[in-house]
């Protein structure tokens, strides 16, 4: 019974026949190897275009002993948060542009299965010193790039992508001061990761700032409880640090009859599309997660594919976006 297999895919032999050279010459020319003249390389590339040859990434990776895949590990229970969604998108787009697939690594506690992962490199976002999964991932014999510094004493990443959170938080507090706030409450995550540590470092410089503990990967009930604690101290302004938590804080304040910004200015540290769409729109700091994800892949590719020993640290810009929630 006849089958429809579609058009035949051009092979390296077709390129060699078209260019009048050997298959070895074609392979070297397309891979940028060998002692070939530029004229020969151009003739081979022209022949490849003429016959419609597309190099097989799978075959190339097999020859080089690579998987063609980069891993991305996000903090547990944060999948679906806007920041991490945009970071993953930026990383996936950049990885594909370099010919790599991006594999999302869940919070998996089976050490043997994690150790068996066939990855060329790994990106870790917001590494926490107490994360048991990260303890396993740090031991894998592959290069790792972190989005934010890893505070664990055994950490040895080949590259770091970060934002100046202390400076950005200081700017946000100054904005609230200029709007008339004296006593400011900040709902901030723990200091077991660089993000939380830098936020708290900025808060310690202002004696009128009170920090209230909330998890980085929070439950909304925890945010509501922290807001109630804050209201008990009658603050002049409230900053909610974790991604997306300001929306829950706003809804809880409104249910309690607190008007934002008339009664209490509200700001988020981490920005996202939903904060611009709510009513009132919420002032926040844009720390550009999509660029962070892309920069992490660029750093990792420089080590995995290009042979660099380490990647230079990359600082992603942070920008204060003033909206209705802090404008009385």
Tens digit of each residue's pLDDT (9 = 90 or more) over 245-277: 999 999 999 999 999 999 999 999 999 999 999
| Predicted local distance difference test score (pLDDT) of residue 79 | 80
Spatial separation of the C-alpha atoms in residues 242 and 270, rounded to whole Å: 7
Q: How does pLDDT run across 287-327, given as a tens digit for each residue? A: 999 999 999 999 999 999 888 999 999 999 999 999 999 99
Query: Whole-prediction pTM value?
Result: 0.81
| Res 60 pLDDT > 50 | yes
Spatial separation of the C-alpha atoms in residues 296 and 313, rounded to whole Å: 10
| Predicted local distance difference test score (pLDDT) of residue 4 | 47
- Domains of the chain, with CATH numbers? 12-55 (1.10.260.40), 69-163+290-316 (3.40.50.2300), 165-287+320-326 (3.40.50.2300)
| Res 81 pLDDT > 90 | yes
> Does residue 88 sit in helix, strand or coil?
helix
Q: How does pLDDT run across 205-234, given as a tens digit for each residue? A: 999 999 999 999 999 999 999 999 999 999
| Predicted local distance difference test score (pLDDT) of residue 66 | 60
Spatial separation of the C-alpha atoms in residues 28 and 44, rounded to whole Å: 10
């Amino acid at each position: 019974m006849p089958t429809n297999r579609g058009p035949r895919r051009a092979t390296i032999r077709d390129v060699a026949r078209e260019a009048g050279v050997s298959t070895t010459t074609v392979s070297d020319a397309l891979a940028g190897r060998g002692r070939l003249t530029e004229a020969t390389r151009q003739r081979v590339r022209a022949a490849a275009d003429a016959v419609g040859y597309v190099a097989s990434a799978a075959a190339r990776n097999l020859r080089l002993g690579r998987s063609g895949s980069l891993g991305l590990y996000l903090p547990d229970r944060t999948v679906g948060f806007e920041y991490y969604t945009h970071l993953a998108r930026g990383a996936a787009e950049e990885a594909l542009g370099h010919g790599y697939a991006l594999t999302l690594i869940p919070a998996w506690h089976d050490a043997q299965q994690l150790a068996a992962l066939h990855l060329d490199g790994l990106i870790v976002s917001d590494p926490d010193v107490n994360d048991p999964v990260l303890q396993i991932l740090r031991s894998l014999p592959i290069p790792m790039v972190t989005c934010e510094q890893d505070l664990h004493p055994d950490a040895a990443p080949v590259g770091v992508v970060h934002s100046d959170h202390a400076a950005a938080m200081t700017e946000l507090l100054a904005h609230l001061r200029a709007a008339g706030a004296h006593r400011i409450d900040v709902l901030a995550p723990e200091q077991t990761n660089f993000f939380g540590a830098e936020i708290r470092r900025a808060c310690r410089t202002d004696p009128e700032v009170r920090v209230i503990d909330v998890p980085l990967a929070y439950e909304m009930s925890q945010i509501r409880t922290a807001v109630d604690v804050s209201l008990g101290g009658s603050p002049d302004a409230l900053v909610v640090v974790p991604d997306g938590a300001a929306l829950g804080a706003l809804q809880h304040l409104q249910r309690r009859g607190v008007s934002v910004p008339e009664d209490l200015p509200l700001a988020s540290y981490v920005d996202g599309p939903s904060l611009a769409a709510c009513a009132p729109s919420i002032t926040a700091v844009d720390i550009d997660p999509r660029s962070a994800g892309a920069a992490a892949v660029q750093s990792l590719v420089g080590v995995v594919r290009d042979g660099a020993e380490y990647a230079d640290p990359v600082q992603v810009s942070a920008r204060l976006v003033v909206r209705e929630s802090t404008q009385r």
